[in-house]
Amino acid sequence: MSNLLRPYDFEFFRNGVIVATIAGALCGMIGVFVVLKGMSYIGHGLSHAIFGGYAASALLGVNFILGAGTWGIASALMIGGVTRRKLIGADAAIGVITTASFALGLALFAVFGRRGRSFDSALFGSILGVGIEDVVAISLVTLAVAAIIFFGYRRLLFTTFDPEVADASGVSTARVEALLMVMLAASILATMQILGVTLIAATLVIPPTIARMLTNSFSRMLLISTVIGAVTGFVGMNLSYHLDVQSGPTIVLVGASMFAIVFVVTGARGRMRANAFDTHTV
């Protein structure tokens, strides 16, 4: 028992566990909308896009949150706009915007060298750099996202389920979708340090997919996904210390294991629920 609690002697670990748990809950919560809108790829792409802003802010000496945040929100709104207007193939547009941004980040690091926060931790996550400011930042983002989802619940649900009718019923779906993209960008930004660019998408997708296998109700899916995300972050963080593996991969592997268990336990019923999230067939 004392062996399990030993890492809690370190402040960085205590901060890391808090951040990982809150980050998991946040990603689980926002991930429900990402998955139900068939935007899993956007989540993945956006985390890569933010990496460009991360590199640029590190090299220019600009505050990380400000630099990468501005970059991420701009990318998110651009992706949202392209997807909404269907100007060109959405997947192709997302691929171009996000991979170009990621490549730019890599190129900047290659040309000017690596400065500021660790390059590897940006890609794969690390708890070593987690300080109290990260705890405050992710708590504020999570509170803001939770408040927006709580008070905008019906509009968000209507827009996610049936955007055309929602729009015709007086819901400003363009605004709601832009808000979703901003929340997504803010969530990715806040969790990037602990989870890493390459693995954030998994934490956005795995908890809602597990939750979908367990329920047919939207409100319950939102709650279950948030709880699963938090549990995954907490357990993954503790395992990460004891296994001496980076936090990002461990958290994702814990989530993947939970998915496998629920997949087997719920059987055909669970698989049918989670099957084809975005299928418009009777």
Partner 1 sequence: MTEASSALRSTTAPLLALAGVTCAYGNTAVLTDVDLEIEEGQFTGIVGPSGSGKTTALRALLGAVQPVRGSVLRRPDVRIGYVPQVETVNWNFPVTVGECVLMARTTGRRLPWRSASERGEVRDILDRLGIADLTNRHIRELSGGQQQRVFIARAMLGRPDVLLMDEPTSGVDVSTRHEILHLLEDLHHDGLSIVLTTHDLNGLAAHLPHLVCLNNTVIGAGRPIDVLTVDVLERTYGARMEVLEHAGMPVVLDHPHHRPTASGQVVPIRRTGT
Nearest-angstrom CA–CA distance, 251 and 242: 13
Q: Find the part of the chain contacting partner 1 (CB under 8 A) among 101-109, 129-137, 211-219, 241-249.
A: 211-219
Determine if 1 is a binding residue for partner 1 (CB under 8 A): no
Minimum CB–partner distance for residue 168 and partner 1 (Å):
5
CB-count burial class (<10 Å; 0-12, 13-18, 19+) for 29: buried
Residues 6+ apart with CB under 8 A from 110: none
- Which residue in 53, 47, 48, 39 sits closest to 91, CA to CA? 39
Q: Which of 12, 41, 64, 218 binds partner 1 (CB under 8 A)?
A: 218
Residues 6+ apart with CB under 8 A from 210: 224, 225, 228, 255, 258, 259, 262
Minimum CB–partner distance for residue 220 and partner 1 (Å):
8
Nearest-angstrom CA–CA distance, 162 and 127: 40
**Residues 141-200 interacting with partner 1 (rule: CB under 8 A):** 150-155, 157-158, 160-162, 164-171
Q: How far is CA 241 from CA 4, 131, 195, 251, in A?
A: 10, 17, 14, 11
Q: Find the part of the chain contacting partner 1 (CB under 8 A) among 16-24, 69-77, 212-220, 229-237.
A: 212-220
Nearer to partner 1, 63 or 172 (CB): 172
Nearer to partner 1, 10 or 150 (CB): 150
- Which residue in 173, 168, 170 sits closest to 156, CA to CA? 173
Determine if 84 is a binding residue for partner 1 (CB under 8 A): no
Q: Find the part of the chain contacting partner 1 (CB under 8 A) among 20-28, 58-66, 77-85, 218-226.
A: 218-226
Nearest-angstrom CA–CA distance, 31 and 234: 18
**Residue with structure tokens 């941004």?**
101
Amino acid identity for residue 160 in this structure? T
Minimum CB–partner distance for residue 2 and partner 1 (Å):
43
Q: How far is CA 38 from CA 32, 83, 161, 279, in A?
A: 10, 11, 11, 9
Determine if 282 is a binding residue for partner 1 (CB under 8 A): yes
Nearer to partner 1, 26 or 252 (CB): 26
What's the distance, CA 47 to chain centroid?
A: 8
Determine if 279 is a binding residue for partner 1 (CB under 8 A): yes
Q: Which of 1, 5, 268, 276 binds partner 1 (CB under 8 A)?
A: 276
Nearest-angstrom CA–CA distance, 81 and 259: 32
Record the tokens describing residue 145, joined without a space.
Answer: 């996202």
Minimum CB–partner distance for residue 153 and partner 1 (Å):
4
Determine if 268 is a binding residue for partner 1 (CB under 8 A): no
How many residues of this chain interact with partner 1, rule: CB under 8 A? 37
Minimum CB–partner distance for residue 200 and partner 1 (Å):
23
Nearer to partner 1, 8 or 161 (CB): 161
**Residues 23-42 interacting with partner 1 (rule: CB under 8 A):** 36
Would you tell me which residues interact with partner 1 (CB under 8 A)? Answer: 36, 150-155, 157-158, 160-162, 164-171, 212, 215-221, 273, 275-282
